Chains A and B, each alone.
Chain A
Amino acid sequence: MTLTTETLLLSVAMASAAGLMGAFAVMRRMALASDALSHVALPGIGVALALRVHPALGAMAALGLGAILIWSLEHRTRMPTETIIGVVFSAALAAGSMMASGDELLDVLLGSPVALGLLETAGGIVAAACIIAFVITHKERLVVSLVSADLARTSGIPVEPLELAFLLAFALTVGLGLRYLGVLLMGSLIIIPAASAKYIARSLDGMLRISVALAIGSTLLGEVLASRLHRPSGPLIIAVAASLFFASLLLRPRR
């Protein structure tokens, strides 16, 4: 993908959204969930291809439905989110692989080096802005509910609707990377910078700042390397993020 102003804007917006959502996902111990949730997009893409509509629409619909399914199962069974996501993810992967061909699956999982249209780029930036706005306006509520749902409840926070909103925002973040990084690599961009930030930071604001900075840094550096080496950008972005994670292990301040 060539580096244009639109691409750079989209990259920064997407990485910021991933960094912010990732910070809360990691603190809520949902690290595996993002990879798992990303696979929920597959059957949606399969259905979209069969119906000859834009695959992104099918993927987003499946991700949204997946988030709602996970949320409602969690409330009915009171099982941990990760267990339920694990089950839904395996089922979705099975359904997706029955509906789509091997090449299509690879493109969805790892991204395909296609140029994005203006509409797709603008849509991506708007969606990223919505996610960023959600996290910033709900930061306090998310913090209290991740510490304890009971404390949140007695503080007047509608816990269940907030959890659904978080899962939907999370699904939207995964979906953002669909046409660009691939859902699998987008899951990594959500989790890896946040995991590094959690390891280094000693406060929530510090973690959010570091997570966003690492996500943006990994994305931009990965893109520059990709254009120099003429390789797809997705894997290079994640390789940079992973390298920064290992570097962060050396940077941890004395506690």
Chain B
Amino acid sequence: MAAATANALEVEHLDVRFGEKQILTDLSFYVPSGSALAIIGPNGAGKTVLFKALIGALPYRGSIRWGPFSRLGYVPQKLDIERDLPLTGMELLRAKASIARTPRTDIERVLSLLGLPLSTAHDPIGTLSGGQFQRLLLAFALLARPTVLLFDEPTAGVDRAGEGLLYETIHRLQLEQKLTLLLISHELSVVYRHASAVLCLGREHPFFGPPDEILTPDVMAQAYGAPIGFHRHDAHD
């Protein structure tokens, strides 16, 4: 089927449950190669659970089909790292380079792409700031030259100034490297600006479509159970 090869990801009738609790029910959506899908929804809607199912960390029913030759890069929301763990960012990146059989020179390329100084990369990971750690995790994901990047709440733990910079970086990377991007975000104005499609995991059922159709007061109120405001005026500028 011609359409199948153009999609980086096709999900059909996905069910995920924890014991008795159903988290995701009959979820279907697709992500064309090179596009950006934003995943939004209220807390507890199952956004991170969806990512975990997509990367094979959780059991599920239904089908998850990645496009041929897909290489996943995953940037988790937060990691429970001990502050005094004696492991430097550089050691983590070297481990990834070795596993992915990527030359070590690639580490410097990725670090400069993300504006992370070498001296910072040589610090123990537990001592990095929220923004520095996010960039390190993004560098980790980009090292194996992924075709798909899954990014869970890119700006959690990052200050306002770092937030805009991080979204710009992700957007630039997506365009330059023709990455398919799956992005969980609470920043609806950013979603409106950068996403090609939106998957909203609502309280009752999911909504999937272009940002114009999903990010409407009606759909938002249904999904969140309350009116949600966002700065739509800065969209697509």
Residues of A that sit less than 8 Å from B by CB = 27, 29, 139-141, 143-144, 147-151, 153-157, 197-199, 201-207, 255
Contacts and interface: CB of A to CB of B under 8 A. Distances in A.
Nearest to A208: B86
Contacts, number: 76
Given A140-B99, A149-B57, A204 B76 contact: no
Give the secondary structure class of A's interface: helix
9 contacts: A29-B82, A139-B95, A147-B81, A148-B79, A150-B57, A155-B96, A198-B86, A205-B91, A207-B86
A144 B99 contact: yes
A203 B124 contact: yes
A154 B79 contact: no
Q: Which of A150, A156, A202 has the largest count of B CB atoms less than 10 A from its CB?
A: A150
Given A150-B55, A154-B55, A203 B86 contact: yes
Contacts of A205: 91
Interface of B: 52, 55-57, 72-74, 76, 79, 81-82, 84-88, 91-92, 94-96, 98-100, 124-125, 127, 137, 140-141, 144, 150
A140 B52 CA distance: 22
Nearest to B74: A154
Given A140-B98, A141-B99, A150-B74, A203 B56 contact: no
A182 to B, nearest CB: 29
A147 B99 contact: no
Nearest to A29: B82
Given A139-B95, A155-B96, A155-B144, 9 more contacts: A147-B81, A149-B57, A150-B55, A151-B74, A153-B57, A155-B99, A197-B86, A204-B87, A204-B91
A197 B98 CA distance: 25
B71 to A, nearest CB: 9
Contacts of A203: 86-88, 91, 124
The 10 A-B residue pairs whose C-beta atoms are closest, nearest first, are: A140-B95, A154-B74, A201-B86, A207-B86, A143-B95, A140-B98, A154-B72, A204-B87, A204-B91, A203-B88
Given A140-B95, A143-B92, A148 B76 contact: yes
Contact of B73 (A141, A154, A202, A255): A154
Contacts of B99: 140-141, 144, 155-157
A4 to B, nearest CB: 36
Contact of A153 (B56, B88, B100, B137): B56
A143 B87 contact: yes
Contacts of B92: 143-144, 147
Contacts of B52: 150
A149 B87 CA distance: 16
Nearest to B18: A78
A143 B85 contact: no
A87 B2 CA distance: 55
B227 to A, nearest CB: 34
Contacts of B91: 143, 203-205
B72 A204 contact: no
Contacts of A27: 85-87
Contact of B87 (A29, A147, A157): A147
A255 B123 CA distance: 11
B45 to A, nearest CB: 19
A137 to B, nearest CB: 11
Contacts of A150: 52, 55, 57, 74, 76
A199 B99 CA distance: 28
